[in-house]
Amino acid sequence: MSDETQSGPVLAADGTPLKQSLARSLRNQKMRALALIGPLLIFVLISFVIPIGSMLFRSVENGMVEQTIPLTVEALKDWDIDSGESPNEAVYQAFVEDMIVAIEAKKHTRLGTRLNYEQTGMSSLFRKSGRKIKRLDPQADAPFKDKLIDIDKKWGDAQTWAVIKTHSVKITNGYFLNAIDMQRTPEGAQAQPEDKRILITLFKRTLFMSLVITFSCIMLAYPVAWILANLPMRTANMLMILVLLPFWTSLLVRTSAWKVMLQQQGVINEVLVWLGIVADDARLVMINNQLGTIIAMTHILLPFMILPMYSVMQTIQPTYLRAAKSMGATNWTAFWRVYFPLSVPGIGAGSILVFILSIGYYITPEIVGGTKGVFISNRIAYHISSSLNWGLAAALGTILLAVVLILYWAYDKIVGIDNVKLG
């Protein structure tokens, strides 16, 4: 029973500071915990952090022009882009030297493809000129300016060189500008010509349709979750199988089934025509448009709404409703003032899941969306697999990621993320 007060840090029994001794005794535990999550950590790093990081980087990376034609890029620095005149002989000399090396390495067509994103015709220009430049000798055949213009008169066009100079920077905002229907020009960022503006529309449509899908999922899922949560356990589990059944069927099959249902010669139209509700020559158009995408995606994403709602509703005790009624609340008031607020975390969790899933959905809009019902993800897929403009695809993906994060942040501000429960 010593009442001595120690000055300085509290010491352990052996005289070392207590903090140090505590840290030592916890270190082993921490190392063991780290070892346990180690495999997951590495997996996440390889499969998640690195790909996303490389995607983010690819959306601004633009080393190709400088790597392929370094001398030309150097020579173009002296050229005044606003002069409206073609550059001097030095640039042509450098360009031919660069091209001979590039043709040797078969890189010139790739550069053509890259520049073709910015101005159509560049790809064929490079391919065509490449064949002829190959035969030139960098010393004997000089000067080159007129020879190149002979090969293709576009080489005498200042616009061609302006495109090369504008896109010769290593880190570019060009892809992002393209992603929001703008372009990088010598005069700075400018709007794309009207006939090329489609991406903003697609972004808006993606957001709008995702909201509609999320909302219709809420409306359909809420009563289902309510019934499931209020049934006896056995029956609820039986019905749960029906909710989960779609999960066990291929996504492709389900989407195709909707095609069979919704098309103009499909089941629904045939039945309506047979019943005389719809005239034979005025069959409903329910597919290859936004309606088709909304119907099919609502169906496919519905379980993601039902499940969190169900698990949250299960935790709401039925006595809350009874208590509310015993205090004089009508059925509706009891529901609205007591049950509904308690079920909001489930709605929130379901909405976030459905919204984020649908904003990046690809297969279903691709199959039933036609041209009017496709999402931004379909455009991303196009740029990855058809036009091979990965930089633009990466920029689109990055914007999508940013939109989701912003919405998530806004949700946290408005509703509060701790109000999201999966059960």
Contact 58, 391 (CB under 8 A): yes
Contact 170, 65 (CB under 8 A): no
Of 24, 223, 317, 410, the one binding another protein by CB under 8 A: 317
Candidate ranges 109-117, 139-147, 168-176, 313-321; the one touching another protein (CB under 8 A): 313-321
Nearer to another protein by C-beta: 24 or 337?
Answer: 337
x/- contact string, 330-369, with another protein (CB under 8 A)? xx-xx--xx--xx---------------------------
- Name residues whose C-beta falls within 8 Å of residue 290's C-beta, 6 or more positions apart in sequence: 205, 209, 369, 372, 373
**Tokens coding 106:** 């078969």
Of 128, 259, 325, 421, the one binding another protein by CB under 8 A: 325
SS3 for 189?
strand
Beta carbon of residue 334, minimum distance to another protein (angstroms, whole number): 8
Contact 368, 259 (CB under 8 A): yes
Of 48, 208, 320, 409, the one binding another protein by CB under 8 A: 320
Nearer to another protein by C-beta: 125 or 324?
Answer: 324
**Tokens coding 67:** 């790597």
Distance, in Å, from the CA atom of 46 to the CA atom of 51, rounded to the nearest integer, reads 7
Beta carbon of residue 422, minimum distance to another protein (angstroms, whole number): 18
Is 327 a residue that touches another protein (CB under 8 A)?
yes
Q: Closest by alpha carbon to 106, among 126, 91, 125?
A: 126
Place of tokens 């790809």: 123
Place of tokens 């019902």: 373
Is 322 a residue that touches another protein (CB under 8 A)?
yes
**Tokens coding 124:** 């064929």
Of 41, 244, 323, 406, the one binding another protein by CB under 8 A: 323
Of 90, 329, 363, 415, the one binding another protein by CB under 8 A: 329
Of 22, 326, 405, 410, the one binding another protein by CB under 8 A: 326
Give the footprint of another protein on this chain (CB under 8 A): 317, 319-320, 322-331, 333-334, 337-338, 341-342
